[in-house]
Structure formats: structure tokens, C-alpha cells
Structure 1
Amino acid sequence: MSHRYVGGCEHVRTWSDHDPIDNHTCHCSVCKRVTGQPTTHVVFFKHGDLHGVNEHNMNRQPFNSENPDGPLELCTCKTCGAPIMLDDKQHRIRVIVPNLMGYPPAGMPATYHAFYDPKTGVPKPADGRPVHEGLRPDFVWPQAS
């Protein structure tokens, strides 16, 4: 069966037939530290909309090493070590980073810049997409599934 969005690695596949609830380019220090990228394309799905095949083959560790009790866990493949997704322990969202988690980025482009902080000295993005100090103002966290 084919699905609208498919990613993961050869050992743990993830998929969704539902559109993401948020797509942004993240400028936060945690994403920079975890990915090693200056900005990170981040895609949120409702927790119940992103499914995994062989989820038992995932290791889970805190996403933010400076806040190990935070809600997000980085899930990586036990076999190959590939990053698979971020899983919310509160069951609100599941998050993918397309270029690191096996998804084609063009299929779900970022629509704005999130967590931009001018105090970092990085020039404000000028690609025409809105720039926010946090998530977009109209973003509403989904209920836990």
C-alpha cells in the first residue's frame, strides 16, 4: 500500500496519509546543536497521524540534552542509528526533519521561519516567508491522542 508521506530507514519506516499541521525552518539553538545545521526544516504531524513500522526497533533519548525531562524524544534506529522522528511523550505531535529522516523536503516545504533571534547576529531571513520569534502565532497545539 502506498502512503502520501513515507520516510525513515530500511529498518524502521514511518508514514502518514494526513498533511502536516506545521512546516517551518527552525533557528533554535537545540535544533542547531542536535542536527549540526545552521537552520533545520521541521515538520509537525498530529501524533496519531504519523505511524511507524517496526517502532520496537527504535532507541529513544531526550531530544534536548539540556532539558532531559522535556516532552520530546529523539528516536533512532537500533540497527543503523538513523534518526527516525521526534516523538512527543505527551502524544500531541510527532516531528520529522525531512533531509535527515528519509523524506523528500520538496513535498512539504517550510512556510515560515520559527525561533529566529536577532541577538544571535545572524541576518534576518529575507526569502519572503514570515519570520517569528516562536512558532507561528496561529499555531494551536493539538490535543493528546
Structure 2
Amino acid sequence: MSYEGGCLCGQVRWRAAGEPINVRICHCSLCQRATGGPFFARALFRAEDFSWIGETTSWPTSERIERRSCARCGVPMFSVPNDPPGRIGVSLATLDHPDALAPECHIFVGTKRAWIALDDGVPQYEERPPV
């Protein structure tokens, strides 16, 4: 299976040539601020299965994570963890078919916004899920 997507203006396009490692909704405060939204719904892929074209800007949001956005329209696209390396997270909202992947859990719900009700039936973890 493969997945494709892009930013709002179309300048950045991406493709994943394999199944994701996991699909999660992160409610941590870093993801909230980095995306400008109440959470970051993302699929995590192996870097060797992932490619993109187009200019992005990047910045670290922690010692662990570098973020990338479209350099033209500013859409937050990717998160690149460095521990362990070799993975890339991509925003589910940027999928060409946004319902192609469904989140398997919510993480860091201890810092979710109080006005968000989680009633989708998937597991919830106060912080990271168990391995």
C-alpha cells in the first residue's frame, strides 16, 4: 500500500511506499503549539519508505523532534524524531485521502484541551503508550 499527500498550496508533495509504523493523535503541548491546533494527528513511517518534494522550513521543537512546514503556505507537514532516527511523522490532514488511515490511540491525553471530548473508542494514554 502507498499513501500520498501535500500541503494547501501544492508546493510540497509527499509519498509513503509502505504501511505506517503507527497512527496516533498526540495531545502534548509541543504538538499543540507546533501545529496551531489542539492536537497532532499523524502517521509515523520508516524514513526509507518516505519521500517528499518541495521546499520546507524546519525548526526543533525539542531535543527529540524537528518539525517541517511548507515554505510557501506554512502548513505543518512533518515531525522528524531523532531517537531512534529513521522515522518521519506526517500530518493525517495532508493525506490526499484523509480517511485512508485511522488513529489507533490518543497519546499525552494528560495535556489535552479540557474542551475536547474523546469518545471515538480508541485507547487513551496519559503519556506515551506502552511498547
TM-score range, shorter chain: 0.7 to 0.9
- Who wins on radius of gyration, i.e. which is larger? 1
Residue in structure 2 matching 1:60, options 44, 58, 61 = 58
Q: 2:107 aligns with which of 101, 106, 114?
A: 114
Instruction: Figure out how many residues of one structure are paired with residues of the other and give that number.
Output: 128
Q: CA deviation at 1:27?
A: 1.4
Q: Given the superposition, is the C-alpha separation of residues 41 and 119 from structure 1 closer, same or farther in structure 2, using an over 3 Å criterion? A: closer
2:95 is equivalent to residue 129 of structure 1:
no
Query: Structure 2: any 5+ residue segments left out of the alignment?
Result: none
Q: Deviations over 1:28-63 (max 9, x none)?
A: 111111223223312111122211124xx222111x
In structure 1, what is the Cα distance between the partners aligned to 2:101 and 2:112?
29
CA distance in 1, matches of 2:71, 2:113: 36
CA RMSD of aligned residues (A): 2.6
User: Relative to 1, partners in 2 of residues 1:133 and 1:103: Cα closer, same or farther, differing over 3 Å?
Assistant: farther
Sequence identity percentage? 27
Give the SS at the match of 2:99. helix
Matching residue's letter, 1:92: G
